[in-house]
Structure formats: C-alpha cells, structure tokens
C-alpha cells in the first residue's frame, strides 16, 4: 500500500475474518506500530458487529412464524392475574444481555402485540381488585358486571356525616344559612331531615354590602311562609314558587362578559337551596324548576337581555295557565263532573284544591249530593275544606279519621287529591289517604284520585319510610284542652320520641281510577304519560 491509502481504508469494513490484528501497512507510512495495531482492531470489531446484526435479522425472519404460534397458544391457555403477570411481561419485553454486553438472540415483539399484552394484564388486575373489594364489602360506584348503581340523594342521607359535611360546604359556598340539627328523631326515620320551626334561618341573612346574600327577597319571604305553613298544598306552593322566580328574573341583570343562559341558572341555585332548607321541595315544585331551567338553557346567547327575560316570564305564565289552571278546569268540567250523580254521598279527605273545585262546579251545575269531610290531626285541613263547601251551600258532614269505618257504609264514591303519582302507580298524598282508600276498597266503594299530569314523577316508591317529609313534632303536643298538655315536656323524656309524618303512599290496587286533564286512566299509565310528555327522555 502506498502512503495515504490507509486513511481511506479506515472507514471500510474488513471482509476477511482471518486478518491479523495489526493489518499490513506500506513502507514509509510514517505511523508507529502501536497506532497501526489500534486502527486494525477497530476495523475488525466494527466488522464483527455488522456480521452479528445480519445473522440476527436472518434468525428473526426465520423465527417469526414460530413466534406467532407461541403467542396464540399463550393467549388461549394462559390467564394472567395480579402482580405476577407484570414481572413475566416485563421479563419478556426486556432482552437479557450477556456479560460481554451482547444481546441474546430472543425473538422481538411488535408494538401492537406488547400493547395487547399490557392491556390484558391491566384488565386482569382491575378484575382482581374489584373482586377483592366485593369480598371485603367495599361500596363502589360501578359494579363488577359494569352496571351503574343508583346514587342516593343527599336529602335521604341525613344520618351520614360525610354527606352532611359536603352539603354544609356547598351551602357555605352559596352563602345559604343551614338549618340546625334536630334534637330527637325516631330511629327508623333517622335518614330523613326533620323540619322544626327554626328562627336562625333568616337571622344571619344580610342585605347590601360586600357580604350580602345572593338570595332574592321574594324567595326569602316565600321560604318563611313555607316553613310556617302559611302556604301549603302542592298547587299553591308551585304557583307561589313560580311567581317568586318571576320577580327574580325581572330584577336580574346580566354581568359583563357573561351570558344570561349560564349566569341566571347559577343565580337560581342558591335560592332553591334556601327553599329546601325551609321545607323540602314538592314533586310539583321540582317539575316546575326543571321546566324553568330548560327554558333558561334554551335561551339563545345572542338574544337581547330584555327580550330573553320577557320570554322567560311568558313561559312561566304559560306553565301556570296551561299545566295548573286549565288542567284543573279540564279535569273538573270534562271528566270528574260526569262521575257525580244526584243523590251521591261523596267522601273526601283533608283539603285538596282540585277536589274542592270539582265539588263546587258539580254543585253549580245543579247536581244534588252530600259530602262527608274526613279530617285528622295535627293540621286539621278538613276544617278549611268544610268551611268553603258550606259557604257554597253544599250539605256536609264532618268526622275524624278514626270514625271512617262507621261512615264508609253510606258513601257511594271517594274523591282524593294527590301530592304526586309515582312511576309504579303508587299515589303519594297527605298522610291518612292510604287508610281512607283501604277502608273504601274493603267496602267496595270506588276511589277516584284527581291529579294534574305535571305532578307525575318518574320516581318509584312502595312505602312511606324510604322517602318522606318529617314535620315539626311539636305540632302533635297541643290538644286544645283546658288541662295542660301532657306532652309539653316530651323532649326531657329519654324514652319518648314523637313522629309527625306528612305523606303516605297508596298502592294502585286501592285506586279505581285517576282523573287527569288527558283523560281517565289507571295508575299504571303514569310511565306512558311521562314518555309522551317528555319524548326526549
């Protein structure tokens, strides 16, 4: 070789594996023996590496069919479990190296195959974890079969401290006063809130300044009326709620850089929370709030504020007129009046505004009948019903619920109002309605329930224990006698608890017919009416 040719040969691989370590150099190269030996060694090593890479590629191409067969057998026969599978997979992914640093000749897996193996391992680990939790009795949102469990409303978990702490934080964030904890409750109903007369609800509310309450004055007034029982009855409470929200919408001003459809919905939430602290929302109120929120969210963002507020107020008036007032007129004049004949003795319980309207319209139409008003403690709502019927000139009798078994023999029909109609056909109404319906069914007297369709509810309930309203137990104490009340010091007696339930549920086999504005239907048709009225659900 001539001087200068060794530099060109440095970058070329050595083809012969039997070359000497130093290689041959031409005379007069000017390089020392040691330098020549180092260059020759580097060339030899680089040539060996390339040869090994070529051999590995050939072996991988030959072993690919065998690899695929082994993977199929592993997937079919082996079921990974727990943390042991992680070690096996990680051992397969990492190629073990020899002490000299050379990689062992093991088949390589594609990215898709490795990803599939990791996914199988993760699913096996999740299944094992869920099984351990199920064996230990740990509650979780999603069960092992993938079905979602129903969440329990926070107002039905009054005995759960964690849930109540979350509710307290939410009320504090909304600047809504919280009701004080009741002193004594019946153990069977400890999961329900007991609504006693509480003055502290409005003591901490301030108007004006930086710490002013976000609750509208009309809503505060309405909440106090709810708590004191001044406004009662499903229709009256719903109408009063919508009228208060009309004032709230009229006084609302959209802040800068915000949209009415989003900000107004957020402004209504603390007002609803305050009303819930005063008294639980009725089913009719809940349906009206859903309707109002739907109208707010469907308001176009580019609509002018005055026009949007005007449309919302008109939608509230439309709901009151069509779903409550005109629905009552249709029930009375089109359907219920035809069920009242001359000489009938009609029994009614408590005071339902819709039943009162039906009886008045039938009397004004010239029907001759008599009414038996059944009443019970502690509210004695039947007295107001009796007063209004006598004022219209209708013949009436008045008895307490304890005497119903004596008067049911002369009754020809029973007319009852309803707080709500549930999806399974049960009727939720004033406590005592179920007893009246049971006595009528035992005496073969038809029971007609009069109810507007906006009170229909998709909730299912078969008893009065899971969901109900606990009113103030002190209402049971006064007996209207000259002697002092024997229960005046009931809170001091450890073994004595008072229970004042507001509603009960009546099974559908006690009810002969439900009269609504859409016609006379059985109790079991509630889901059909809900599906027709709300097709998007």
What does the pLDDT look like over 321-359, one tens digit per residue? 999 999 999 999 999 999 999 999 999 999 999 999 999
Surface-to-core class of residue 419, CB atoms within 10 Å of its CB (0-12 exposed, 13-18 middle, 19+ buried): buried
Residues of the chain with confidence (pLDDT) below 70: 1-50, 52-53, 55, 59-107, 135-150, 198-200, 203-204, 206-211, 480-482, 535-537
Q: How many CA atoms are closer than 13 Å to the CA of 302, on its beta-carbon side?
A: 0
Query: Helices 234-251 and 217-228: crossing angle, nearest 10°?
Result: 160
- Please give the structure tokens belonging to residue 72: 């199929």
Contact 429, 418 (CB under 8 A): yes
Q: What is the pLDDT of residue 202?
A: 74
Q: How far apart are CA 460 and CA 467, in angstroms?
A: 10
Q: Are strands 420-421 and 513-516 parallel, antiparallel or unpaired?
A: unpaired
Surface-to-core class of residue 293, CB atoms within 10 Å of its CB (0-12 exposed, 13-18 middle, 19+ buried): middle
**Which residue in 193, 189, 186 sits closest to 279, CA to CA?**
193
Output helix, strand, coil percentages for the chain, rounded to the nearest 5: 50, 10, 40
Q: What is the pLDDT of residue 94?
A: 46
Q: How far apart are CA 305 and CA 264, in angstroms?
A: 11
Q: What is the pLDDT of residue 19?
A: 40
Q: What is the pLDDT of residue 383?
A: 95
Q: How far apart are CA 34 and CA 347, in angstroms?
A: 122
Q: What is the pLDDT of residue 105?
A: 54
Q: How far apart are CA 110 and CA 500, in angstroms?
A: 71
The terminus-to-terminus CA distance of the chain in angstroms comes to: 91
**Domains of the chain, earliest start first:** 155-328 (1.20.120.420), 336-479+490-533 (3.40.50.10470)
- From residue 496, give the alpha-carbon distance in Å to each of 184, 239, 369, 431, 516: 9, 39, 45, 22, 43
């Amino acid at each position: 070789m001539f001087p200068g040719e060794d530099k060109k040969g440095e970058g070329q691989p050595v083809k012969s594996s039997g070359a000497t370590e130093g290689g041959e150099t031409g005379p007069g190269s000017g390089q020392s023996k040691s330098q020549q030996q180092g260059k020759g060694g580097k060339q030899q090593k680089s040539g060996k590496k390339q040869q090994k890479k070529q051999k590995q590629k050939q072996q991988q191409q030959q072993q690919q069919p065998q690899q695929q067969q082994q993977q199929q057998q592993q997937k079919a026969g082996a079921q990974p479990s727990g943390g042991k599978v992680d070690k096996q997979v990680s051992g397969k992914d990492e190629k073990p190296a020899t002490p000299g640093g050379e990689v062992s000749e093991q088949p390589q897996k594609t990215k898709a195959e490795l990803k599939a193996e990791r996914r199988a391992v993760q699913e096996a680990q999740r299944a094992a974890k869920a099984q351990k939790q199920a064996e230990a009795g740990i509650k979780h949102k999603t069960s092992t079969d993938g079905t979602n469990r129903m969440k329990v409303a926070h107002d039905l978990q009054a005995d759960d401290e964690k849930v109540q702490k979350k509710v307290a934080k939410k009320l504090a964030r909304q600047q809504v006063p919280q009701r004080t904890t009741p002193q004594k409750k019946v153990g069977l109903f400890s999961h329900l809130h007991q609504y006693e007369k509480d003055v502290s609800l409005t003591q901490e509310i301030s108007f004006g300044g930086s710490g002013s309450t976000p609750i509208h004055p009309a809503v505060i007034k309405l909440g106090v009326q709810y708590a004191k029982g001044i406004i009662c009855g499903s229709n009256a409470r719903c109408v009063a709620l919508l009228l208060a929200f009309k004032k709230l919408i009229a006084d609302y001003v959209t802040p800068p850089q915000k949209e009415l459809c989003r900000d107004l919905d957020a402004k209504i939430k603390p007002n609803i929370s305050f009303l819930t602290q005063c008294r639980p929302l009725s089913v009719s109120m809940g349906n009206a709030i859903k309707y109002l929120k739907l109208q707010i969210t469907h308001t176009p963002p580019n609509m002018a504020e005055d026009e949007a507020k005007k449309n919302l107020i008109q939608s509230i008036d439309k709901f009151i007129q069509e779903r409550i007032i005109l629905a009552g007129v249709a029930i009375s004049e089109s359907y219920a009046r035809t069920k009242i004949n001359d000489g009938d003795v009609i029994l009614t319980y408590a005071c339902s505004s819709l039943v009162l309207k039906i009886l008045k319209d039938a009397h004004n139409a010239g029907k001759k009948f008599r009414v038996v008003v059944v009443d019970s403690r502690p509210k004695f709502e039947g007295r107001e019903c009796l007063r209004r019927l006598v004022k219209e000139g209708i013949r009436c009798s008045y008895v307490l619920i304890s005497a119903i078994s004596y008067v049911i023999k002369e009754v020809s029909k029973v007319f009852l109002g309803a707080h709500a109609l549930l999806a399974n056909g049960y009727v939720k109404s004033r406590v005592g309605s179920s007893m009246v319906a049971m006595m009528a069914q035992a005496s073969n007297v038809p029971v007609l329930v009069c109810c507007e369709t906006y009170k229909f509810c998709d909730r299912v309930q078969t008893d009065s224990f899971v969901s109900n309203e606990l009113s103030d137990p002190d209402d049971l104490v006064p007996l209207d006698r000259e002697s002092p009340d024997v229960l005046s010091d009931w809170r001091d007696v450890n073994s004595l608890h008072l229970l004042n339930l507001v509603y009960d549920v009546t099974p559908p086999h006690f009810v002969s017919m439900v009269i609504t504005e859409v016609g006379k239907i059985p109790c079991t048709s509630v889901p059909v009416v809900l599906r027709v009225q709300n097709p998007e659900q």
